[in-house]
Amino acid sequence: MVTLVVATSADPASIGPASSLLAMPGWHPGPSLQDDASYTNKEVRLIKLDKRLVVENHLDKRWEEATGETVDDVVFLSKHVASSNRPALTIHPIGTPHLREGEALTAGGKPGWAAPPNPRIGPWFRLLKNIANSHNLVPEFEVTLEATHHGPEINSPTMFVEIGSTEEYWKRQDAAQAIALLVWEGLGLGERIAVGNWSRDNDRNKILLGIGGGHYVPR
């Protein structure tokens, strides 16, 4: 079972954290996915694509077919866009359950669909807040959760981790390093254990389902 971390060169808020993550120890070249390079570190596979992430459908299935490795969960690194232009670090599940058949899919997905949320979301949100504070990104950057609002279509538990909200902030190296550290610590690539591992066999785990509300979950 492997975790896919997915980045794209088409997005500075994606390739920046990926580059910072790959600068950390333990990475080795991995198998290619069609023409896209990958890197391995323990049970983590980082894939570098060149297209918009929201159109990279069924990436988990494509990886399994190409490598024979079963995908446990997926983490996409991406930019965040907001009309407020406020700098932000965000985490969210994906899906387009608000769309009906025939409506335009401007950001991937499919009508009435949502991917299983990555169970790391809650613990990683708390970890991200700690990292952002320790790196003096707060209060300049807001650390927040978002609701589902885009694709790509995928079957594995998935989340997006994003830097927002304008090109100035997408390219911020300190924000990129914070996201890289989140992934590094969250997936247990250093000396600490992974954060947010979840087992359905543990009856102490609680499942929370939120329906409705605004785009930004804490509000």
User: What is the pLDDT confidence band of residue 188, given thresholds at 50, 70 and 90?
Assistant: very high
Residue 102 or 182, more confident: 182
What pLDDT was estimated at residue 177?
98
Q: What is the pLDDT of residues 42-93, one digit of tens each?
A: 999 999 999 889 888 999 999 999 999 999 999 999 998 887 889 999 999 9
Spell out where the chain has E strands: 2-8, 28-29, 37-41, 44-49, 71-81, 88-92, 95-96, 113-114, 142-145, 158-165
**Residue 113 pLDDT more than 90?**
no
Residue 194 belongs to a domain: no
Q: What is the rounded average pLDDT of the residues 25-43?
A: 94
Query: Which domain covers residue 148, as residue numbers?
Result: 2-186
- Is 197 among the domain residues? no
SS3 call for 197: coil
Is 106 domain-assigned?
yes
User: Which CATH number is 171's domain given?
Assistant: 3.40.630.50
Tell me the C-alpha distance between 93 and 69, whole Å.
23
Confidence bin at 206 (pLDDT 50/70/90): confident
**CB-facing half-sphere around the CA of 11: CA atoms within 13 A:** 26
Total domains in the chain come to 1
213 lies in some domain: no
Question: In this model, does residue 196 exceed pLDDT 80?
Answer: yes
Q: pLDDT tens, 122-154? A: 999 999 999 999 999 999 999 999 887 787 999
Q: How far apart are the C-alpha atoms of 210 and 123, rounded to whole Å?
A: 17
Sheet holding 88-92, edge to edge: 28-29, 37-41, 44-49, 2-8, 71-81, 158-165, 88-92, 142-145
Within-domain flag for 203: no
Residue 196 lies in a domain: no
Q: Check pLDDT > 70 for residue 25.
A: yes
Flag whether 150 is in a domain: yes
Distance between CA atoms of 163 and 183, rounded to whole angstroms? 14
Question: What's the pLDDT score for residue 108?
Answer: 75
Q: What is the phi/psi pair of residue 71, to 5°?
A: -90, 125
- In this predicted structure, what is the pLDDT of residue 41? 97
Rounded to two decimals, the pTM is: 0.92
Give a yes or no: residue 32 inside a domain. yes
Query: How far is the C-alpha of 65 from the C-alpha of 31, rounded, in Å?
Result: 12
**Backbone angles phi and psi of 181, in degrees to 5:** -65, -35
In the chain, the amino acid numbered 218 is P
Helix, strand or coil, per DSSP, at residue 112 = coil
Look at residue 219 in the predicted model and tell me its pLDDT.
53
Q: What is the pLDDT of residue 210?
A: 73
Mean pLDDT of 171-195: 95
